[in-house]
A and B are shown apart, each in its own frame.
Chain A
Amino acid sequence: DAGVTQSPTHLIKTRGQQVTLRCSPKSGHDTVSWYQQALGQGPQFIFQYYEEEERQRGNFPDRFSGHQFPNYSSELNVNALLLGDSALYLCASSSGQPNTEAFFGQGTRLTVV
């Protein structure tokens, strides 16, 4: 079992560009959550996908959007990139049932210049 995999691992983009980050959940998991972690801070919840729909959303602007595919993999899209979007983006998968353990990917380090 490969666990949670994210791609790419590192990315450099220019202000105003758009970016797509990808996540494959752990086998057997159907729920994917995305988090943004700024340097020196704890992860902040962006949104969660379950059954191909956004189930919950954190306090992030509409520039942040996502998608979940039938195989439960997920994408995070960020439009009109700002310097402040530079962060580590983490994906976590779980089974969607209460109290099931979340497993995390290695993250994608996004740098906006």
Chain B
Amino acid sequence: KNEVEQSPQNLTAQEGEFITINCSYSVGISALHWLQQHPGGGIVSLFMLSSGKKKHGRLIATINIQEKHSSLHITASHPRDSAVYICAAYNYGGSQGNLIFGKGTKLSVKP
């Protein structure tokens, strides 16, 4: 079982829909990172958070440390949001170089 689990693995939405991607982790973490990866590979950082909630434009990330769970929400989704969204847990001092990655959620937003 992965230490960081994401759901769903694949998600198809219509433009304008509200989208939620979930991330659960089983390790002790110091922070959690939400990343976006477009075809071609490059990874862009969306949020890094250790508590509460962060918002940037149409993106909102929340984390509940007690429940070991984080969510990424996209409001008013757009086809340009189509990408793979990855959550990564900061496990400083752990055996995996600080970051433990989920497998990603592939989002496709249809016009």
- B residues near A (Cβ < 8 Å) are 4, 30-31, 33, 35, 40-45, 48, 50, 86, 88, 90, 92, 95-104
Contacts and interface: CB of A to CB of B under 8 A. Distances in A.
Contact of B90 (A44, A99, A104, A107): A99
B98 A48 contact: yes
Interface string A75-105: 0000000000000101010100011011111
B98 A42 contact: no
A90 B99 CA distance: 13
Interface in A13-64: 33, 35, 37, 40-45, 47-48, 56, 58
A3 B75 CA distance: 29
A42 B101 contact: yes
A45 B42 contact: no
Contacts of B92: 98-99
Nearest to B94: A56
Interface of A: 33, 35, 37, 40-45, 47-48, 56, 58, 88, 90, 92, 94, 98-99, 101-107, 109
Contacts of A109: 41
A102 B33 contact: yes
A63 B97 CA distance: 19
Contacts of B41: 37, 88, 90, 106-107, 109
Contact of B103 (A41, A47, A92): A41
Instruction: Give the dominant DSSP class at A's interface.
Output: strand
Contacts, number: 65
A103 B35 CA distance: 10
Contacts of B104: 41-42
A90 B37 CA distance: 12
Contacts of A88: 41
Given A102-B33, A104-B35, A42 B42 contact: no
Contacts of A105: 42
Contacts of B96: 45, 56, 58
Contacts of B35: 104
B106 to A, nearest CB: 8
Most chain A beta-carbon contacts within 10 A, residue among B88, B98, B99, B101: B98
